[in-house]
Structure 1
Amino acid sequence: MTTTTTHHGRSDRTGAAAGGLVTFAAVLLFVAGILDLFRGIMAIADDDVFVATPNYIFKFDLTSWGWIQLVLGVIAMVVSAGLFSRALWARVVGVGIAALLIIASFLSIPYYPVWSLTLIALYGFVIWALCVVRREP
């Protein structure tokens, strides 16, 4: 199998892999953003799916926490749309929003532990996928 080289010295196969990683990050960020949106709605509605933790250092009102999750989830979905269009700003903001969402998920571990750890892993993959791809000329 032969690979062609572009005028910038990168092979077509490398470019396709890079585009695939950005698409992977966009899909993960969109899905995780929707999940955060739903988690925010559940917290705002005072749903009983959240564990009551009386002695946690980082104590938040469940409704306030729900609004934070909801807003971060919406931002993540908007940024994922930018990632689908291969916008450079979206890659930079995507890493930042994924990092913020990792912190938010960490702070909510006592309230919903398995879900929080799952989202931390998803956002970690988003950061990885956005950071390993070189900037396109």
Structure 2
Amino acid sequence: MSEESVVKRDVVQGSARGGAVLLVTVGILEVLQGLSAIAKDEVIVTGIDYTYQFDLTAWGWTHLVLGAIVTAAGIALFTGAAWARVTAMVICAVSILVNFLWLPYYPMWAITIIALNAVVIWAVSTWHPDKDRVAQPNPPAR
């Protein structure tokens, strides 16, 4: 096995593990965002005329449930299972959509989560676990 293939394998595995860590982080941020909305925190702007305006408590529960699902998908992603990768990409796409609709309430928080979700989608979609399983050379016989 060449040194170049070892480096490529390590970079790919690192980006996949990094994607899993980021996904868990995004899930925790979503949960915190949901708790802030449920508690009707003062940092969240209310009273705007917005097409997708819901009750702040409804938004809070939406983010709380989505955060729990995102966190669970991030934990499952550590296994490297194909279904976890697909689930992570789908749930990140849903999270991007929800946070786009949430933009008028807390723009910087929503943009941060959208950007993190985009990075997770990139990391998970570029990870090929079957290419990671490069045959290790046999140890020398004694």
1:91-113 deviations in Å (ceiling 9; x for gaps) = 10000011000011100000001
Residue type of the alignment partner of 1:3: E
Match of 1:104 in 2: 98
Q: Tell whether 2:2 aligns with 1:15.
A: no
| Partner residue in 2 for 1:128 | 122
- Structure 2-normalised TM-score? 0.85
SS at match of 1:136: helix
1:75 to 42, 47, 69: 69
Kindly report structure 1 stretches of 4+ aligned residues shifted beyond 6 Å. none
Given the two structures, how large is their TM-score scaled by the length of structure 1? 0.88
| Structure 1 equivalent of residue 3 of structure 2 | 3
Greater radius of gyration (CA): 2
Kept in 2, the 8 Å contact 1:76–1:94? The answer is yes
Structure 1 position 15, deviation (Å): 2.1
Give the superposition deviation at 1:54: 2.1
Unaligned ranges ≥5, structure 2 = 132-142
1:88 aligns with 2:79: no
Identity, in percent, stands at 42
Q: Deviations over 1:76-132 (max 9, x none)?
A: 111111111212111100000110000111000000011111111000000011111
RMSD value over aligned CA atoms?
1.5
| Unpaired runs of at least 5, structure 1 | 5-10
**CA–CA distance in structure 2, aligned partners of residues 132 and 53 of structure 1:** 42
Of residues 109, 112, 119, the one that matches 1:118 is 112
